[in-house]
Amino acid sequence: MIRTRYSAIALALSLATAAVSLLAPASVSAQADNQLEVFSWWTSGGEAAALDQLFAGFGARRPSAEIVNATIAGGGGSAARPVLQTRLAGGNPPDTWQVHPGWELLGQYVEAGYVEPITELYQSEGWNQVMPQGLIDTMTRDGQIYAVLAGVHRGNGFWYNKKLLSQQGISVGSSLSFDEFFQAADKLKAAGITPLCVGDSGIWASAELFENTLLGVVGPEKWMGLWNGSVAFDSPEVKQAMTIYGRMLDYENSDHAALSWDQATKKVMEGSCAFNSMGDWAYGEFHNARLVDNEDFGWVSHPGTDGAFVIVADGFVMARNAPHRENNAEWLKAIGSKETQEAFNPVKGSIPARTDVDRSKFGPYHNWSMDSFKTATLVPSVVHGEAAPAAFQQALNDAVTTFVTNHNVDAFSQALVSGMRAAAPTTGL
């Protein structure tokens, strides 16, 4: 049974349950009720359909348990994370929540003691053998692992309406340069078609357009340099990326600030604009609308980013003092299972974290993305909390909000230099 609500759940038995092993049989459960509260921001059509697949995986293991679906709308978690933070600080955690590995998991939740290690599930479920060590490392602190991944999104997707482009005599090959994009954009504009769809009522979506453009200009090696301090945000190549980003914004839809990310994707589907730079949760929207890969829509890496894979992985955790600890262990086991990963990811757009899935169960986009994961340089996303601390993520969003209206490259780069300086003392960056 699934119930949607957002409300406090009593912590009556939190102390009693804290000592129970993750592997303990249900019979020793001290749970007050048979629930599981799952906190996420998966509310768009594609996201909600995918979340249902995780619920089904859990339901098969715990048929009598009631799922409390605590979602907070707002792509990228911009609205959900502050609510979660308040709950955690108030000692009122959901059982489990959606999290990105890297800084977000380790810096915000592990550091503060809000989550428990699930290392023993990795052992009992054999996940160490079937999930890439590089991904596990981004969830590990002091030898303990703190989350299990439902899937791995590719952040640097560039989606397009295939029929619309061919009507305009524009064909996109296996990669797209900035010059090729601008040529296509001019042609579309001349035909009265909006070239680029953006839905940045949540500013992160425009920050993502910038993130992808920055990576496309500086390349993966310097991208990593931005996070280890060897490349500065006022370096010439970063400023060049900002200039190109400003140029791209000149081709965006005028109602961008009124739209959410998925409404922008919908505009691509409807043909009222041509391209959309977005992580492959956009695939989930195409899939949910029953559109067909390579027929109705196409994709390519965001200009300049071919050969790079921006990782935006989605994990779930075990809250410290989780109210429904044993249900949660079953939830996490379901998420890491082959069946659930094979059911969830085709709907969500991400690829499975497990490498032993049956690839024939996935369509053309997923197989392309799985190949990309194997061969591309994997880099963390800053917009989705992996590459840098939350303080810098916020500074980036603020700087993007200003840049979208004033296009001032110097002010933009200075804001990021200051943002990184402010974040550095606490992080050692």
Interface stretch with ligand BGC, choices 73-81, 267-275, 370-378, 407-415 (CB under 6 A): 73-81
d(CA 12, CA 32): 8
Q: By C-beta, is 72 or 318 nearer to ligand BGC?
A: 72
d(CA 345, CA 149): 11
| Of the candidates 206, 264, 254, 187, the residue with the CA atom closest to the CA atom of residue 412 | 206
309 in contact with ligand BGC (CB under 6 A): no
76 in contact with ligand BGC (CB under 6 A): yes
- Tell me if 367 sits within 8 A of 359, measured CB to CB: yes
Q: By C-beta, is 31 or 393 nearer to ligand BGC?
A: 393
Interface stretch with ligand BGC, choices 75-83, 125-133, 187-195, 396-404 (CB under 6 A): 75-83
The 24-43 site mask, x for binding ligand BGC (CB under 6 A), equals: -----------------x--
User: Least distance to ligand BGC from the beta carbon of 140, Å?
Assistant: 19
Interface stretch with ligand BGC, choices 69-77, 121-129, 169-177, 263-271 (CB under 6 A): 69-77
The only residue of 37, 211, 314, 342 in contact with ligand BGC, by rule CB under 6 A: 314
Interface stretch with ligand BGC, choices 11-19, 60-68, 71-79, 335-343 (CB under 6 A): 71-79
d(CA 361, CA 35): 31
User: Least distance to ligand BGC from the beta carbon of 42, Å?
Assistant: 6
153 in contact with ligand BGC (CB under 6 A): yes
Q: By C-beta, is 62 or 146 nearer to ligand BGC?
A: 146
148 in contact with ligand BGC (CB under 6 A): no
77 in contact with ligand BGC (CB under 6 A): yes
Interface stretch with ligand BGC, choices 62-70, 72-80, 107-115, 392-400 (CB under 6 A): 72-80
297 in contact with ligand BGC (CB under 6 A): no
d(CA 370, CA 380): 17
For residue 97 the two structure tokens come to: 């929540």
227 in contact with ligand BGC (CB under 6 A): no
User: Least distance to ligand BGC from the beta carbon of 400, Å?
Assistant: 16
Q: How many residues does the chain have?
A: 429
The only residue of 312, 332, 378, 382 in contact with ligand BGC, by rule CB under 6 A: 312
User: Least distance to ligand BGC from the beta carbon of 243, Å?
Assistant: 27
389 in contact with ligand BGC (CB under 6 A): no
Q: Which of residues 264-293 bind ligand BGC (CB under 6 A)?
A: 281
323 in contact with ligand BGC (CB under 6 A): no
* Residue closest to ligand BGC, measured at CB: 281
298 in contact with ligand BGC (CB under 6 A): no
For residue 8 the two structure tokens come to: 């406090």
Q: By C-beta, is 79 or 429 nearer to ligand BGC?
A: 79
Please give, one letter per residue, the 3-state secondary structure of the chain. Answer: CEEECCCCCCCCCHHHHHCCCCCCCHHHCCCCCCEEEEEECCCCHHHHHHHHHHHHHHHHHCCCCEEEEEECCCHHHCCHHHHHHHHHHCCCCCCEEEECCCHHHHHHHHCCCCEECCHHHHHHHCHHHHCCHHHHHCCEECCEECCEEEEEEECCEEEEEHHHHHHCCCCCCCCCCHHHHHHHHHHHHHCCCEEECCCCCCCHHHHHHHHHHHHHHHHHHHHHHHHHCCCCCCCHHHHHHHHHHHHHHCCECCCHHHCCHHHHHHHHHHCCEEEEECCCHHHHHHHHCCCCECCCEEEEECCCCCCEEEEEEEEECEECCCCCHHHHHHHHHHHHCHHHHHHHHHHHCCECCCCCCCHHHCCHHHHHHHHHHHHCEEEECCCCCCCCCHHHHHHHHHHHHHHHHHCCHHHHHHHHHHHHHHHHHHHCC
Interface stretch with ligand BGC, choices 70-78, 323-331, 334-342, 354-362 (CB under 6 A): 70-78
384 in contact with ligand BGC (CB under 6 A): yes
87 in contact with ligand BGC (CB under 6 A): no
Give the interface with ligand BGC as residue ranges (CB under 6 A): 41, 47, 75-77, 153, 281, 312, 314, 384
